Each structure stands twice: as C-alpha cells, then as structure tokens.
Chain A
Amino acid sequence: MAALTPISRKPMSVVLPAVAIAGGFLGMFVGAGQGSVLLGILIGAALMAGLAWVYMNVLDNESVARWITILGLGGLGLLFAGVTGLIVGLLAGWFFAFFIFWLYEGRYRQKLLPYMTGQQVFWHYTFRVICGAIFVFLITPILVVLPLSFNAQDFFTFTPEMLRLDPEGYSLKHYRDFFTNNEWQRSFKNSLIIAPIATFISVSLGTLAAIGLSQSHVPGRRAIMGILISPMIVPLIISATGMFFFYSDIGRFLEGTLGMDKNFVGYVKVILAHAVLGIPFVIITVTATLVGFDQSLTRAAANMGAGPVRTFFKIQMPLILPGVISGGLFAFITSFDEVVVVLFVGSASQKTLPWQMFTGLREQISPTILAVATILVVISIALLTTVELLRRRSERLRGLSPA
C-alpha cells in the first residue's frame, strides 16, 4: 500500500520511554536467566534507551545503526547463553533496530488514515498486539510439541541441553521407538486399514446421495438431510453409547449364528461405525459443490446420447471431484482421529493410533506420544494444503475467484 500519511520525526519524549519499556521486557528474560530479574529489567531499559538516544542524536545513519544493534545484541547473547543466546540476540537486535526507527521516523502512521488521533493509532496497534497474542495461544501448543518430540531424555519438558541447542540434547529415539515398537506399529496399521475403508464407504454412498439430494424435486428433503447430518450433531459419546449396545448385539449375532471370525467382525463393526461418522462431511461438501453445478451440462450429454452412467463419470464427476475429495479428506480425518467410538465398539485387536495415544496419555505416559503427535501434525498440514488447493480450484472452476 502506498503511504497514506506524510510522516515526520517524533520527539525524544515519545521514543525513549517506549524503547525503554521494550528493552526492559527483553531484559527481564535475560535477567531471569542470569539470576536477577529486576537488575535485568533496569539494565535492558537503560541500554536500549541509550542506544536509541545515540542513534537519533549522534549517529543518524539507519543502516549502520541497524548492523550495530543486530551484531551487538547477538554478541551479548553469545556471551551470556551460547548458540541459543546468539539466535535470540540477533532476532532481538533486528527487532530493536526496526522498532527504534519505526517510532522515531513516525513510520507507524504511514499506512493509517491521516485524520486518526494519537489515541486511535495507539489503540490500532494495541489491538494488533492482542490479536497476535491470541494467535500465539492458538499455535503454541502445536509448536511446543514438535521440538519436544526430539528430546533425548524421557521428559516432557525442555532440558538444559535442548535450550543450549546442544546436539546431545536431541535424538530420534522416540521416532525409532514408534517405528519399532510392536504395539504402536499394530495400532498404526489398524488405523491405516480402518480409515481408508470407512472413507471409501462414506464417500461412495455419500456422493450418490448428495447428487440425489441436489435434484429439484425430492420429497421430504429437510427430514432426509436432518437424518444424514445427525451423526455430526449427536455428541460422540452418545453415538458411542448407542453403537456400543447395538454393535455388541450385532457382533454376537455374526459370530454366534453365522460363525464369522471374531477379529473380522471387530473390524467390520469399527469400519461401519466410522463410515457413518464420516457421512455428514461428505454430504455437506458435495452438496455445496453441486450448488454451482450447471444441470444443463448433463442434459446436453443426454441429448447427445450418453446414458446416465456415462454422463455421471464423464461430465458430472470431473466437475464435482474437488468437493468429493475434500469431503473424503474430512471423512478420512474423522475416522483417523476418532477415539471415543472405537474405544466403545472395538476390541483390543482393533486398537487404532488415537486409541493407543489415549491410553498412553492416561496411563503409562511415554514421550513416543509426542513423536506420533508430530507425525500427525505433518499429516494434517499435508491434508490442509490439499483441501485448500482443491477449494481454490473448485472456486476457479465455478468462476468465483477470491476477491
């Protein structure tokens, strides 16, 4: 954005206190590391305010000032806390170099409307800081798990070696444990069996039903929609309770009367239960895609002699494919991430990955869980990217490019 407001230099009385407060905040952390928080705050505030004063009155050259700050703070960090300190120091230096001149030159007003009062400008940035804090709250738990999964110790906290970025403090042993431990491997395999089959069932049935639902004259559409969406509405614990009673009866019937294999029946029960849970997601995404589908295309195909099946696979399917795939991904993640129902319906030989994690968290807590968590985060990032790309593609196809 071009500059909205002409900017002017700000007086010392504005810049110095602000820089001093920020410096004190940084000093608090450094001071805590060295043993005295209060001293840290005072030194930090004085140092930063002093630097700002020198830059503004003596040096007056921004790029030189920037390098002095970055390298100076980096050096201090290296002196106090090794490699970690160096990194923190460099980052802090970069921030302060930016912050001092941002305030001094009045750049903070550059992109704001010219008639805003000082109070409004202050509130504008306070609001952004608050939002930033909320974003930090959202993302921190996930970010904390990632490095901890490389912990060389069996702890759930950062060891001093890890904080020093010492390679000794890091290892892949929890990952090794995950890939060699039979129990984890079996549960992982179970998840990989159950989730795709359940997804396949919910996607194939769900897509057909969504096509039926999107046609113009469906008697009782609201009631049908209500029933099909209900697995998403009913709390999982209630679905699980209901399925627990029902599927144990079914299981007894299949094993006792039809003489099926116990293990096989267990898988069938869990897969059916998960397929039902995934259906609402498929229905919602596919009907949403079909809203933008031009029905005259199917009529044109029929006009040219294509049968309903051929029309479906050649005309309709390619166009609604993004919706079907993202619905399928939702169904997959629902099954892959599901604990409550499998806990109630399945037996020990159907133990899935989330179930294993759940028992791990409740009973014998082991850091392997964090390694699994990291793998799952990576999987969800991959899925998120896919869904986002598909959504964009589908919007482009329908001519709804994002504004």
Chain B
Amino acid sequence: MTDATQSGPMLAADGTPLKKSLARSLRRRKLRALALIAPLLLFVLLSFVIPIMSMLFRSVENSIVADTLPLTVVELRNWDADSGELPDEALYAAFTKDMITAIDEKTHTRLGSRLNYEQTGMSSMFRRSGRQIKKLDPETDGPFKDKLIEIHDGWGDVETWRTIKTHAVPITNGYFLNAIDMRRTPEGAQAQPEDKQILIKLFGRTLMMSLIITASCILLAYPVSYLLATLPMRVSNLLMILVLLPFWTSLLVRTSAWKVMLQQQGVINETLVWLGLVADDARLVIINNQFGTIIAMTHILLPFMILPMYSVMQTIPDSYTRAAKSMGATNWTTFWRIYFPQSIPGIGAGSILVFILAIGYYITPEIVGGTKGVFISNRIAYHISSSLNWGLAAALGTILLAVVLLLYWCYDKIVGIDNVKLG
C-alpha cells in the first residue's frame, strides 16, 4: 500500500517502483514482438538472404586455380611474366605433380573450362594433356619441360602460363571485368577484343528497352487511370475488372497469348492480310525481335502502372479543376497546370515499379524476344545453364541487383515501401 503523503518514487501494486515496472513490461512486449517475428526472419535470412550473399561472393571467388594447382601457384610467384621467357623446370615439375593429383580427383577438366573463359583452347588442352600426363611418374620421369611441350604445344606458350598466373588469385575482379566487356590481363584491366564486346551493349539495350516499355506504359496508363478515377465508383469498379483480370492471369498465359497473336501466321498478321493492308508474302515480322518484347511486356506490366496512378488520381479533388476553369483557364491549362502536377506522384511510383520489374524480366523476352530482343537476365540464365560460367553469371547478377536496389531506394524515398498496395 502506498501512502499518498509518502515521498519517494511511485510504486506499482507489487511494490516495485512504477518506472521500473513499466520498463520491464515494455521490454517484455518488445521481446514478444521479436519472438513472433523471429521464425520468419530466420527463414528469410536462411533461404533468401544467404543465397543472395553467396551469389555476391561467388562473383569474386576464384579459389579453383589455387586449389587445383597449389604447388604451381607457389612456383609461378617466382616467374616473371613480363620476361617473355618460359618458366624453368621447377615449375613444370610442380605442375606435373599438381596435374597428376588433379587428374586423380578429376578436377583438371573443371580447371580447364574455368581457364577457357579467359583464353579459348584451354579446356581442350587440359582435357587432352590429361590423358598423357597421367602416365608420367612425378619422381622418375623428369625433366618435364620438354615432355609437356611435346604432349601439347600450349605448354610451351608463354601466354598459357601468363593466363594461369593472372587468374591464380583467390579473390578476383576478373568476372566483374568480364561483365563490363573488359578482361584481367597481366598488364591490368584491358578491353575485350571487339568481337567479344557484347555485354555492355546488352546492358544498354536492357536499359533502353525498359525505358521504352516504361514510357509506353505511362502513355497507355494515364488516360485509363484518369477515366477510372473520374467515373462514378460503380462503373469504374466494373472497368477495373478489365485491368485486374490481366493482372491476375498467369504470366505464361499472357506470354503465350502474345506468341499466338504476333506470329507470322498469328492472329494480327492474318487479320492484316485479310484486310488487304499487308501483302501475303510481306507479313510483318513482329515476333522474335525488340518490337515483340516491347509490346508483350508493355501489356504485361501495364496493370502495375495503372494501379498506382489510379490510387493517386483518386485523391485529386474535382473542385481544383473546376475552380481553375471558373477562373477562365482553358481545358489544356487546367490539365497541364492543375491536374497533371498533382498526378505526378502516381506517374513516379508506377514508372519506378514498372522499370524495376522490366529490367529483371526473363520469361517474356526469352519467348517472344528472339535473339535481338533479349535482356541481360537471359544472358545470366545462359551462363548458368548453358555455358556454365557461374562466376560471370554471378557478377552480372550483382550488377543488376545493385541497379535495382538503387532504384528501390529512390522508390522508397518517393513513395515509401510501406505504401505498396496490392489488388
């Protein structure tokens, strides 16, 4: 029992000071909230954040050379790559020893294909030499220099050793240099030969096409959102179905629909030929090129532009435009000076959203883009599943991720991630 006249801190019912008691209850509430969040947070960290981190790491990780050829790497340190002379016998002996171990563990072909990304021909050189090096005995069969050169001319080429030496580091910037059309050489970073420079162009094309898609989405979404925002709720809810139905329809359904529409024998071409607007032997080529990608992706991403625009336009009071008109503004002035500035947040939100989604798209460009309409993500998938150059795929992915995160940071500044709405 607390006496009203008693001095000192206020006490809670159980006799502890009220301040302390409140602090304890707050701490308990915080802990309880965290305990509720913890399972999911752990789950996301484990199965999403760590994979992404491992991808980031893989874009610089390069331990394969040092792991497969440990002795050679040590010897290579003593060799002057700029001398223009072949390494000495000690290195060849070390290399033979390393190779025999590697052949036993069957890792030499993997090293070959890793080095093949840097210098063509390495892969077959490792594979072919492997069979014969296996027969050598590291203790008795020396000296190895001439024998190796006999087995394959490549081992007598200074370039081979220079390449191995350049890529012997465990952490490399080589993949990133490759990703921006450069390569790691003994003399430092250099541009790739002309005919191999495709990735910068591909990045440029991805950005360009994403911009075109975003712009056409703005053009198409603005009138529709305006109409939806100004019509009475009952009508606009009905029309909204026409926007939401494509939004909810499977991406593959929409992509296959566009494939059906755009083909040479597809619905659009057939109709145009039927109307006589296009000759039968001059059907429009609107698939497997940039046009196909742009039109299909504009359609697919349009709802993502309409929904944020609509929700912003809904909040613009009608009285503002009426006031402007009553003060003598023409239609155009009213729109341009009064309505449009207020709708800009919607345009901004929608554009960033569409742009972010477009820049990482894979499925649609793969199906309707052919070779000229593909994005950087298709290149990533190619390196993952066909060329198996995973380091380069990871480096390309890291660059793309950096761009997207930067854009999202802008999105958060402009719109706020908490304001993302669905449906």
Contact = CB atoms under 8 A, between A and B. Distances in A.
B114 interface: no
Interface stretch (A16-24, A52-60, A127-135): A127-135
Given A205-B39, A215-B32, 20 more contacts: A29-B275, A32-B274, A32-B276, A37-B275, A123-B331, A127-B227, A128-B227, A131-B227, A144-B261, A157-B267, A209-B36, A212-B36, A217-B26, A217-B33, A227-B44, A241-B397, A273-B47, A361-B256, A362-B366, A384-B245
B423 interface: yes
Interface in B244-297: 244-246, 248-261, 263, 265-267, 270, 274-276
A83 to B, nearest CB: 18
A155 B255 CA distance: 17
Contacts of A358: 252, 363, 367
Interface stretch (B3-11, B52-60, B92-100): B52-60
A237 interface: yes
24 contacts: A127-B223, A135-B239, A139-B242, A140-B261, A141-B261, A145-B256, A155-B265, A205-B43, A217-B30, A227-B44, A231-B44, A237-B360, A239-B51, A241-B393, A246-B50, A276-B47, A279-B43, A279-B44, A339-B363, A358-B252, A358-B367, A373-B256, A376-B252, A380-B249
Nearest to B244: A384
B76 interface: no
Interface stretch (A4-12, A70-78, A218-226, A253-261): A218-226
Nearest to A145: B257
Given A238-B401, A273-B47, A285-B422, A218 B37 contact: yes
Contacts of A230: 44, 48-49
A197 to B, nearest CB: 14
A229 B417 contact: yes
A241 B395 CA distance: 11
Interface residues of B, number: 93
Contact of B266 (A157, A227, A333, A380): A157
Nearest to B405: A233
Contact of B394 (A156, A241, A272): A241
B414 interface: no
Report whether over half of chain A's contact residues are helix, strand or loop; otherwise say mixed: helix
Interface of B: 26, 29-30, 32-37, 39-41, 43-45, 47-55, 58, 220, 223-224, 227, 233, 237, 239, 241-246, 248-261, 263, 265-267, 270, 274-276, 299, 302-303, 331, 356-357, 359-363, 366-367, 377, 380-381, 384-385, 390, 393-394, 397, 400-401, 404-405, 408, 417-418, 420-423
Nearest to B253: A373
A371 B25 CA distance: 59
Interface in A250-271: none
Contacts of A134: 220, 223-224
Nearest to B37: A212
Contacts of A350: none
A330 B422 contact: yes
Given A139-B246, A215-B33, A370 B256 contact: yes
A369 interface: yes
A212 to B, nearest CB: 3
A257 to B, nearest CB: 18
Contacts of B363: 339-340, 358
Given A212-B34, A284-B422, A383 B275 contact: no
A99 B39 CA distance: 63
B377 A237 contact: yes
A194 B404 CA distance: 29
A373 B40 contact: no
A391 interface: yes
A234 B259 CA distance: 27
Interface of A: 28-29, 32-33, 37, 120, 123, 127-128, 130-131, 134-135, 137-142, 144-145, 148, 155-158, 201, 205-206, 208-209, 211-213, 215-219, 224-231, 233-239, 241-247, 249, 272-273, 275-276, 279, 281, 284-285, 288, 326, 330, 333, 336-337, 339-340, 344, 354, 357-358, 361-362, 365, 369-370, 373, 376-377, 380-381, 383-384, 387-388, 391, 402-403
B397 A238 contact: yes
Given A234-B404, A237-B362, A362 B367 contact: yes
Nearest to A140: B261
Contacts of A158: 267, 270
A81 to B, nearest CB: 12
Nearest to A249: B54
A385 B395 CA distance: 43
Nearest to A219: B30
Contacts of A217: 26, 29-30, 33
Given A206-B40, A237-B360, A284 B254 contact: no
Contact of A212 (B33, B52, B239, B394): B33
B33 A391 contact: no
A225 B418 contact: yes
Nearest to A235: B360
Contacts of A206: 40
B253 A145 contact: yes
A56 B239 CA distance: 35
Nearest to B404: A235
B55 A209 contact: no
B228 to A, nearest CB: 9
Contacts of A275: 43, 47
A29 B43 CA distance: 59
A247 B405 CA distance: 23
A123 B334 CA distance: 15
A246 B400 contact: no
A333 B421 CA distance: 17
Contact of B52 (A224, A234, A344): A234
Find the residue from B37, B245, B259, B362 having the highest chain A CB count within 10 A: B37
Nearest to A29: B275
B276 A37 contact: yes
Contacts of B233: 402-403
Contact of B48 (A32, A127, A156, A231): A231
What 5 pairs between A and B have smallest CB-CB spacing?
A: A235-B360, A212-B36, A246-B51, A141-B257, A242-B51
Contact of A284 (B39, B303, B384, B420): B420
Nearest to B53: A242
Contacts of A233: 356, 404-405, 408
